[in-house]
A and B are shown apart, each in its own frame.
Chain A
Amino acid sequence: MRVLLVEDDAALGASLRLSLERSGYATDLCADGIEAEGLGEVEPYDLVLLDLGLPGKPGLEVLHAWRARANRIPVIILTARDGWQEKVEGLRAGADDYVAKPFRIEELLARMESVLKRSRGLAAGPLRHAGVSLDEATQSLLGADGSRSALTGTEYRLLRYFMLNPGRLLSKAQLADHIYENDGDKDSNVIEVYVNRLRQKIGPDMIQTRRGQGYVFGEPPPRG
């Protein structure tokens, strides 16, 4: 999952970014409204956390600009302005949720997950697919038999992205885009390694390879 964190308070931004990284979100931090607007247009983020009081361009205008260009990128407004007037305006501008500062990181993560699922038309609750379910709190995998196996950070990010996009063809570059932040190492060959490791944990048929195209996560094809 790639997240754009737009926050002008440097200390809070850095600390929040760290928390998000720890929870498996590849996070880009940006402190300026104009820059954020450009990034949101260019980079394939899965979610934006947007502060309202930004230098360069106010957060609401950034959001308006995106929505005016039919950019449906999910946005959670993250602000210390918690009046209902601001909430109404923010959601009217096209935000998907509104979290008031100060917040507990658990609360923010829960709301991020629910917005992500909603934006993909998935039901709320833990991610589950064909007997495999993902425990987002512990970043581990729950098997159909109740067994629990730990995932590394990258494995977790990759599996979550697969599970949020079941049945869709995902290229290696696309996967790399969504699990690494901007300045991260985007060697798409590494993806192959991680996909193989995931196959060992969730079964070989849950992720199918389409040669030259990428991968599809979903039900294993019926065996002939």
Chain B
Amino acid sequence: MNPLAPRSLGGRLSAALALSLVILLGLQWIVASLAIAQLMERQLTARLARDAESLLAALQEAPGGGLQLDPRRVSPRYQRPFSGYYYTVVSGGQRETSRSLWDADIAFPLPGAGRNATLRAIGPERQPLLVYAAGFRKHNLEVTVALGEDLTSLNAGLRRFQLIHGGVSVAILLALLLVQRRIVRAGLQPLDAVRQDMERLAAGVATRIESPGPAEIAPLIAQLNRLLETMGRRSRRSREALGNLAHALKTRLALLNQVATQPQMREALADMDRIVERELKRARLAGEAQPGQRVDLDDELTLLAQTLRVLHADKAPDIDWSVAPGLRLAGDREDLLELLGNLLDNACKWSRGRVVFRASGTASGDGILLTVEDDGPGCAPATLETLARRGFRADETTPGSGLGLAIVRDIVESYGGRLAFGRAALGGLRVEIELPGDPSNATKGEST
């Protein structure tokens, strides 16, 4: 991924703002440094020009012809060797240099009368020099006065300024980046709320997005909420309709069962009952169409175990169940109750009194593993194969048997899970179901 174009809006804004701030502050640092350097050089040049004029004034006609400097009018700083202040005066073939130069020399151009030139040169003891040369005419003689000044301390001052200025600029940059980060974060706050709502929606805690969101994406949220609502309403309505249909059909079937005398008729009625039960239950499954909802297995199993103990009171089955702490199933409560109810009911039906149920996370990640075992007669290997096929009926003689497991299969399939049968350690049937889990189980797993 391009680091300058990250996928998050906040990242993009931060990167662009940070880059522009760095460029801006870098430019101002360069401009300020150059401006100060130029200003200092201009000031120095101006002073050298004044010094050149005072040197010119100190030039007198020498008795033997030519020009000669009046030593009394020359500043003592030109006398100290390598003092950093130097001059050379050229008039005619005559050349006079300051004592400070000792026997070194500075090369400079002769600009001609009334003109001047500024240049940089390397002086004695490798001092960096600013050299100012100006041409004059005095006593009808052409005179060139060149002055040099050591730039070492000046350069040091300039560097110190640049350093301080740079430091201040960096501090300002950091402060601005910090402020900018906060601004971006505050600006994107509404989006963050929407994201959290989405997570709650996915986790099944919420059924709609509550936060209004910023104006830019408000229509999107409104549309999404409308869709969620329509979907929920439609699914509720179709569930209700199917429930009513099942209710009406079953009441009539119950009546027909009362009056049916011929075995053929009774058989046909039993078939109709099975079809109504299976198909309408399947149609009522919410499956994955519903926005994620979560079911607390502990609560449901407590109630379910009580219910099953009553329904199978003659057998008084000992239902030994345990759920890994905090485990939740992602899915519709009614579907999951139907799944667990049919599963455990089947086990109770066949058991001799003991049913074991376990729910845990799968080893591979966020899935959920449900196992039910009973101590009943179990199934022959051939029957186990039949069980694994669709639309099976394990035992034609026990009313309703097989149907429960068929419904279990329907539910597991509608949730994209896996169903397997085997032999239980207790001797009876072992049913193993793997369901794709609630994402929050996975995060729990990672954090521990």
Contact = CB atoms under 8 A, between A and B. Distances in A.
A97 B313 contact: yes
B246 A103 contact: no
B306 A12 contact: no
Interface string B324-352: 00000000011001101110000000000
Contact of A84 (B253, B255, B277, B342): B342
A65 interface: no
B254 interface: yes
Interface in B244-285: 246-251, 253-259, 266, 269, 273, 277
A175 to B, nearest CB: 28
B246 A80 contact: yes
A103 B251 CA distance: 10
B334 A102 contact: no
A212 interface: no
Contacts of B269: 102
A221 to B, nearest CB: 34
A16 B310 contact: no
Contacts of B273: 102
Contact of A101 (B254, B303, B341): B254
A105 B258 contact: yes
Interface string A86-108: 01100110011110111111010
A124 interface: yes
Given A80-B250, A83-B337, A118-B313, A91 B258 contact: no
Interface in A8-61: 9, 11-12, 15-16, 19, 53
B304 interface: yes
B250 to A, nearest CB: 4
A12 B311 contact: no
A80 B306 contact: no
Nearest to B315: A124
Contacts of B399: 104, 107
B216 interface: no
A180 to B, nearest CB: 23
A114 interface: yes
A15 B255 contact: yes
Contact of A114 (B256, B314, B333): B314
Nearest to A81: B247
Interface residues of A, number: 31
B402 interface: no
Contact of B258 (A12, A83, A84): A12
Given A19-B258, A92-B306, A102 B337 contact: no
A83 B338 contact: yes
A102 B247 contact: no
Contacts of B259: 15
B404 to A, nearest CB: 10
B307 interface: yes
Given A88-B337, A92-B303, A80 B313 contact: no
A100 B307 CA distance: 14
Given A12-B255, A82-B277, A124 B314 contact: yes
Nearest to A78: B254
Which 10 residue pairs spanning A and B have beta carbons closest together?
A: A84-B341, A80-B250, A102-B253, A101-B254, A102-B254, A15-B258, A12-B255, A80-B247, A84-B337, A101-B250
Given A12-B251, A12-B254, A87-B311, 9 more contacts: A80-B249, A80-B254, A85-B333, A85-B338, A87-B341, A88-B307, A88-B337, A101-B251, A104-B257
Interface of B: 243, 246-251, 253-259, 266, 269, 273, 277, 303-304, 306-307, 310-311, 313-314, 333-334, 337-338, 340-342, 399
Interface of A: 9, 11-12, 15-16, 19, 53, 80-85, 87-88, 91-92, 95-98, 100-105, 107, 114, 118, 124
25 contacts: A12-B255, A15-B258, A15-B259, A53-B247, A80-B246, A80-B247, A81-B247, A82-B277, A83-B243, A84-B338, A84-B340, A85-B333, A85-B334, A85-B337, A88-B337, A91-B307, A91-B310, A92-B306, A92-B307, A97-B311, A98-B311, A101-B254, A102-B254, A103-B254, A104-B257
